[in-house]
Amino acid sequence: MSAEQPNNPLHGIKLATMLEQLFLEYGWEELGVILNLKAFQNNPTYKSSLKFLRTTPWAREKVEKLYEKTMLK
C-alpha cells in the first residue's frame, strides 16, 4: 500500500472495476434499489453509469461504500 494513503482500502482500485464487480454481484436493478440511484434504475448502461459516477461525488461515495462493504470483507 502506498505511503500516501495507508488507511484507504480503495486505493488503487478503479471506479470502473468497482462498478463492474458490483454489477456482476447485484445487477442494475438491485444496485438501483440498494443505492437509491435512479441512474441505475432507468435504462442504465455501463458507460452512462460510469459517467454519472465520475461527475456526481455523493453517488460515487455510495458506490465506494457498497464496494468496500461487499467486496473487501
**CA dihedral (41, 47, 51, 53) positive or negative:** positive
Q: Per the domain annotation, does 4 fall within a domain?
A: no
Q: Return the CATH number at 58.
A: 1.10.720.30
Classify residue 7: in a domain, yes or no: no
Q: Is residue 10 part of a domain?
A: no
pTM: 0.84
Domain range enclosing 46: 15-71
What pLDDT score was predicted for residue 11? 80
Asked, for residue 64, whether it belongs to a domain, the answer is yes
What pLDDT digit, counting tens, does each position of 26-71 carry? 999 999 999 999 888 888 899 999 999 999 999 999 999 999 999 8
In a domain, 48, yes or no: yes
Number of domains composing the chain: 1
**Mean per-residue pLDDT, 13-35:** 93
Tell me which long-range contacts 8-16 makes (C-beta under 8 A, separation of at least 24): 9/68, 9/72, 10/64, 10/67, 10/68, 10/72, 13/67, 15/50, 15/53, 15/54, 15/60, 15/63, 16/50
Mean pLDDT of 4-25: 86
